[in-house]
Chain A
Amino acid sequence: MTAHRTQRGGRIDRSRIIRFTFDGTAMSGHSGDTLASALMANGISVVGRSFKYHRPRGIFAAGIDEPNALVTVIRGKLREPNVPATQIEIYDGLTVESQNRFPSLSFDVGAINGLAGNLFAAGFYYKTFMGPVVGPLKGTRFWMFCEQFIRRAAGLGRAGYEADTDRYEKMFAFCDVLVVGSGPAGLAAAQRAAAEGKRVILAEQDGTLGGALRWRSATIDGQPAAEWLDTTEAELRAAGNVTILPRTTVWGYYDDNQFAALERVTDHKSAPAIGEPRHRQWTIRAKDVVLATGAFERPIVFPGNDRPGILLAGAAARYAAQFGTLPGRRVAIFTNNDSAYEAAVALRDAGAEIAAIVDLRAGISPAARDLARQAGGELLLGHAVTNAGGTKRLREIDVQPFAGGTITDRGKRSIVVDCLAVSGGWSPAIHLASQAGAAPVWDEALQAFLPPAPSQRWTGAGAFAGKFSTADALGGEFEVDEAEIDYAPAPVFEIRPAKKSGKSFVDFQHDVTASDIRLANREGFQSVEHLKRYTTLGMATDQGKTSNVPGLAIMAAARGIPISQAGTTRFRPPFSAVSIGSLAADTHGHFKPERLTPMHDWHMQHGARMYSAGLWYRPMIYGAGGETIEQAYVREAAAVRESVGIVDVSTLGKIAVQGPDAGAFLDRVYTNMFSTLPVMKARYGLMLREEGIAFDDGTTWRLGEHEFLMTTTTANAGKVMQHLEYYLDCVWPDLRVHVTSVTDEWAGGAVAGPNARKVLEVCVDGTALDNDALPFMGIVRGEIAGAPVLICRLSFSGELAYEVYCGAGHGTHVWDALMAAGKPFAITPYGLEALGTLRIEKGHVTGAEIDGRTSPRDLYLDWMLSKKKPYIGSAMVDREGLVAEDRVRLVGIVSLDDRPLNGGAHIVERLEDEPRDSIGHITAVCYSPALGKYIGLALVKGGKTRHGQRAHISDPLRNRFGPVEIVSHHFFDPEGSRMHG
C-alpha cells in the first residue's frame, strides 16, 4: 500500500501488481488502475506542465475530459503524445513520459514564462507577430523567425519520427439499437432493447462497463449498485443479440444514423496477440441509437484554481471509490450544487479527512445537509474559495463569505488542505447529438446546455438528458435507494475577489484565463466562434470539455447578456482523439492491391524487371546479366524486328459488348463504323469525349452477330467501362446492349516479328494461319497445346503480329507453348520499354499523346472521323478551338546530338529561347534500333508543317539542351508493308 492507496475498497484487483515507469522511475499499481489512479497512488502530484506558462499541473479529472495530465506513451521506438493519463489502463512494462518540460518535470526552465504572463495574453501571436513593415523581418518573416523558438517553448507532447508499425483495422457493423455509454442509463436501455429481441451494440469508452455505478453509492433492486452492474453485465453478455464493445469511443455521428467509433483493442496490453490490431475503426449503422453519454462536471473558476491537488469532485470520488486511491489526505470541497456532498462522503469513506465543505449557496437541501453530516468537516455555506496556495502541491485555500455575487473580506481565512474537490455543476455530454445536427438548448435550472430535439433517430437517457440521479437514469423501472440530492447549481461560474491574487484558469489545457476572455470581449471577439479562435478556448485534445460552458458564461457576463443569448459552439467530430492509423487501417502504407496477369509468375521467373501500370504489374524489361535498361529494350525491340518477340498484353481492357443493338451502340461510341464490321474481324476504333477530345483507342473484335470484344488501353479500361455504362443506363436505355468487364477472363500474348506466323504454325491446331485464312485484322479460333485460343492478326509494333488470347487460367500453359514453338526462331519476350520503342518507331499513339487535351486532328486521326453518322463528340469535334492552326500536333523528332531525349522536355525554335517560348513538348522517347538514333514523338505547334525543320529541346530541370529535327511521326515502314506482309 502506498501513501495515497486506501486500505480497502475500489474495483481494482489488489492481488495483481502491475509495474510501469513514469519519467524513468519504476512504479507499480494494480490491475484495474488507470495511469492517473496509479500515479496518484504513488504520490505523484505533478503530472505535466501547462501549455503556455509551464505551470505544474496535476490530475484534474478521471475520464476523457482530463485537460492537464497528458503524457507520452513510449512503445519501443514509437511515441504517442498527448494521451490523457486517465484513459491509460496500466499494464506491465508500460512506459510513459511527462510532456512540455525541460530539463525535468520538477524543474522546468519554461516556467519562466509565467513571470511574463501578461505578455502572453489572448491574441499574443496576432499582435506580436504582424511584423515590421520594412526590413528583413517584415511581415510574416518575423513570425517565421520566432516560430522555431516558440514551438519549443510552448506546446504539448512531441510526436516521434518512426513509422508506425502497429496494425489497424476497420470493421463494419449493423444493429437495431446502438447504445452509446454503459452507465445506468445505457445499461437499462441495452437491457430493454435486448429483451425486445433487437440486435444491440453497447459501446463504452472505458475498459469496464457501468459508468458512475462503479463509484456512486446507491442500491438498485436491493443490490449495491456495483453488484447490480455485475449482474446486468453478465446478463447482457449472455444474451445472443448484444455486442458489447468496451474501450470503444463513438466519436462521430453522421447522416442516416451512421456512426464512427474507435476501439482501442490492445492499448491496455503489454503485447497484442497474433493478428490483433492496436485500434479498430468501426463504422456502425444503427436503426436507432440511445445516447447515454453522461455528463461532464464543471470546475469553478477562481484564482489559483490550477494548483496540483485541485480536481473535480466527481473525479475525486471516483478515484476513492473505484480505484481505492485518495487524491489527498485532508480534503476541502468547493461546490455550487449538492453532488459534491456525495463526493465528500465517498472520500471520507475511503479514509480522507474532510476539512471543510465550502458552498456558494446560502441554503442546501436536507439530503445535502445529511451528507455533510456524514462527511464531517466544517460546512461553510455562503462562502467561496478565493485563492489556492502551493506550487507543486496544494497547500492551503483562502475562504471568504460570498453572498449575492459579492465577496467580503471580513471573515476571510485560510484552511490547510492538500486537496480541493470542486464542483461547478454538470454539463451533459451532448456532442453526438450536436453532431447529428441541431443546436443545444440552454436550461436555466440546470445551468447547462441540454440536447436539442432529435434531428435523427436517437433518444437520450440519463445524465445526457439532464437526468442525473441513478433512478432517473434507469428510467423508473427499478427500486433505487440513493440520496435525493439537488443537481441544480447556483448560477456562479467564476469567483472574482476584489484583490486579484493570481490567474484564474478557464481552459487548463491551453492556459486560457478568465482575463483572456474579458480581453477578447474588449477587443470585439465576442461571438462564440471568435472567442474560441482568438483565445484558443476549447481547442486541443480535450476540446474544452471542462471549459466551454464556464468560458461562455464569463463572456456572457462580460457582455451583460444571458448565457442563452451568448450561444454555444456546435460540436464536430471527433468527440475525442482518433488515431490516424485507424482511419487509414489497411490502406496504411498507401495500400493498393496488386493486379497481376496470368503470366506474372513466369515473368518473375525469367528475370523480368516489373513496374506498375496503374494497379497492374507489367514487365519493363527482361534484363540479361549486366544489361542496362536501354541495352535490354534495344535488344528486345531489335529481336522483334529481326525475328520474333512475345509480349504480355493481358492488361488491355477487355469489355464484352453483347446484344442485338451492340453494333449500333458501338457506332455511337466510336468515331468510326462498327456495325458493318464482318463477324470474326477486328477494327481499330477511336473514342472521343463529349467535347471532341480524344478519349481512348483500341481494337474491337466482332465475335458474333450480336457479340463484340472491345479492347481498351490498360489505363483507361475502368473509365471506358463507366463511360459505356453511363450511356446505356442514362442516355440510351432503349438500346439492348450489355457490357461486362472480361479483362480478367482472357490472357493475351502478342507474337510479333517477321517469324511470328511461323511460330504460330508450329503450335496452333484447328485453323489455318495464312493470309487468306487470317488476313490483317482477321480473327480465327484454334487450339494451342489443347487450350482453346482466339487469334487476331493485328499489330502495334508494325511487324507481322498476332494477338493470341486464351482463358486466363490457361495463360501460362499457352505462353509456354508459344515460347517452345518460338525457340527455333529465338523468340524473345519483351517488356513495355521495347513495346514503347516499337510503337514510337511506328508513330502509334498511346495515353502519352491521347492525354485528355488532344483532338483527333492533333493526332492526325481525323481519317477516323465518320461523316456518315453521329457519335459521342461529333457535335464538338469541329469547333473553332479544336481546328485552330496554332494547336500542337503530332510529329516525330530526331536527336541531332546523338544524346538521349527526355519525355516532357520543351521544344523551342532557337537555342537561346526560354521554356516559356515553347512550341511544344516531347511525349515519348527511345533509342531506335531500327534507325540507330535517339528519337521521340512530340506535340508541336504546326505539326506537319514543321517537318524538316530544326528546333531545340529546352529542359532546364534536367539540364538537357540540344538540337533536334522535326520529322514525320511515321519513322519506320510508313507504308505498313511489314505488318501486312
Chain B
Amino acid sequence: MVEIVSALEPVYRRGAHGNRDGGSAITLWETQPGSIVQVTSWPGKEGAALAAINAAASLDVTADAGAGVFSDTRSAFGFAPGRWLMVDQAEGMGDTLRDRIDTQTGTVTDLSHGRTAIAIEGERAEWVLSKLFALDFSLAAFPVSVGKSTAHHEFFTLIQRTATDRFDLYVYRSFARSFWQLLCTSAEEVGYTVD
C-alpha cells in the first residue's frame, strides 16, 4: 500500500518544547489511523446503523447523544444526531461498513484521507484545549469515551475523550498544519512533548 503522507510533516518536531520549568504537562502526537469513516443514518434508522457499526467494529456504541467507545485500535462516537465517526488503525473500515449499511439505513463516507487525527494527553490537556474550544472539558461534563463536535475559528473539530487526561481530535486535513501550530503555541505555556 502507498503510505499516507501526513499533513503535519514539515512542522512535526519531535521532542520537548515550550516552558520546561515543570516538565512537559502534555504530550501531543498524530495517531494516523488507517480508517476514518463517517456513518449517517436516516431518521428512524439510528438503531440499525449503530448495530452495523458495532458489528463491523466489535464495539458497543449506544444511541445516547455523543456516546462512544474505544479500544486499542478502534473507536467510534456520535457527534451529531444520527451521525457517528468510526476510527480504525487499520485501513479498509469504509468498505466494511459500506457492505453492512445499505441505502435504506444510511450512508457511509470515507474520510480517511480528509481528516488528521491528533492526540493530546496530560494533566493540562483540559487547560490547553479550553484555550481553543468553548466546551466544558471537565470529566463530569465530558466523560471518557464521549465525543463532541465543535470549532475554533475555521477549525471544525471532532473530539473524543479517550482517557481522563487524553483527547483525540479530528480536524480537516487542509487546516491540520495551521491547527497543529496553534495547538503547539497554546501548549507552550505548560510545556509539551511531541511524541
Question: B107, A596: Cβ atoms under 8 Å?
Answer: no
Question: B111, A275: Cβ atoms under 8 Å?
Answer: no
Question: A199, B138: Cβ atoms under 8 Å?
Answer: yes
Total contacting residues, chain B, CB less than 8 A: 54
Question: B179, A736: Cβ atoms under 8 Å?
Answer: no
Interface 0/1 of A566-601, CB less than 8 Å to B: 000000000000000000001100011111111001
Stretch at the interface among B55-63, B158-166, B168-176: B168-176
Docked pose: A277 CA to B188 CA in angstroms: 10
Question: A738, B107: Cβ atoms under 8 Å?
Answer: yes
Question: B189, A593: Cβ atoms under 8 Å?
Answer: no
Interface residues in A737-775 (C-beta closer than 8 Å to B) = 738, 740-747
B31 within 8 A of A: no
A31 within 8 A of B: no
Question: A742, B135: Cβ atoms under 8 Å?
Answer: no
B145 within 8 A of A: no
Docked pose: A463 CA to B159 CA in angstroms: 44
Docked pose: A743 CA to B109 CA in angstroms: 12
Give A258 Cβ to nearest chain B Cβ, in Å.
10
Give B129 Cβ to nearest chain A Cβ, in Å.
9
**Residues of the A chain whose Cβ atoms lie less than 8 Å from the Cβ of B38:** 740
**Residues of the A chain whose Cβ atoms lie less than 8 Å from the Cβ of B177:** 594, 596
A interface bracket (residues with beta carbon within 8 Å of B): 35 or more
Question: B175, A170: Cβ atoms under 8 Å?
Answer: no
Question: B113, A169: Cβ atoms under 8 Å?
Answer: no
Question: B113, A807: Cβ atoms under 8 Å?
Answer: yes
Q: Who on chain B is nearest to A594 by CB?
A: B178
Question: B5, A812: Cβ atoms under 8 Å?
Answer: yes
Docked pose: A487 CA to B195 CA in angstroms: 62
Q: Who on chain B is nearest to A169 by CB?
A: B131
Docked pose: A738 CA to B4 CA in angstroms: 27
A848 within 8 A of B: no
- Which of A597, A744, A786 has the largest number of chain B CB atoms within 10 A? A744
Docked pose: A596 CA to B178 CA in angstroms: 9
Docked pose: A851 CA to B111 CA in angstroms: 32
A946 within 8 A of B: no
Q: A275-B189, A593-B178, A595-B178 are in contact. Are A172 and B130 (CB under 8 A)?
A: yes
B114 within 8 A of A: yes
Number of A-B contacts (CB under 8 A): 145
Docked pose: A171 CA to B154 CA in angstroms: 17
Q: Who on chain A is nearest to B38 by CB?
A: A740
Question: B182, A586: Cβ atoms under 8 Å?
Answer: yes
**Residues of the A chain whose Cβ atoms lie less than 8 Å from the Cβ of B7:** 596, 598, 808-809
Partner of A813, one of B2, B42, B112, B191: B2
**Residues of the A chain whose Cβ atoms lie less than 8 Å from the Cβ of B138:** 174, 199
Docked pose: A810 CA to B134 CA in angstroms: 34
Docked pose: A592 CA to B134 CA in angstroms: 18
| Additional A-B contacts beyond A595-B175, A807-B112 (17; CB < 8 A) | A174-B138, A199-B140, A273-B19, A273-B21, A274-B18, A274-B20, A285-B136, A587-B153, A593-B153, A593-B155, A596-B7, A650-B174, A659-B107, A740-B40, A809-B5, A809-B113, A810-B2
Give residues in B with beta carbon < 8 Å to A: 1-7, 9-10, 18-21, 38, 40, 42, 103-104, 106-107, 109-115, 130-131, 133-136, 138, 140-141, 153-155, 172-175, 177-179, 182, 185-191
21 contacts between A and B (CB under 8 A): A173-B130, A273-B21, A274-B188, A587-B153, A592-B153, A593-B182, A595-B175, A595-B178, A596-B7, A706-B103, A740-B38, A741-B172, A742-B111, A743-B174, A744-B111, A744-B172, A744-B174, A745-B173, A807-B112, A809-B3, A809-B112
Give me the 8 closest cross-chain CB pairs, A-B, nearest first: A275-B188, A809-B4, A745-B114, A275-B189, A807-B113, A174-B136, A593-B178, A744-B114
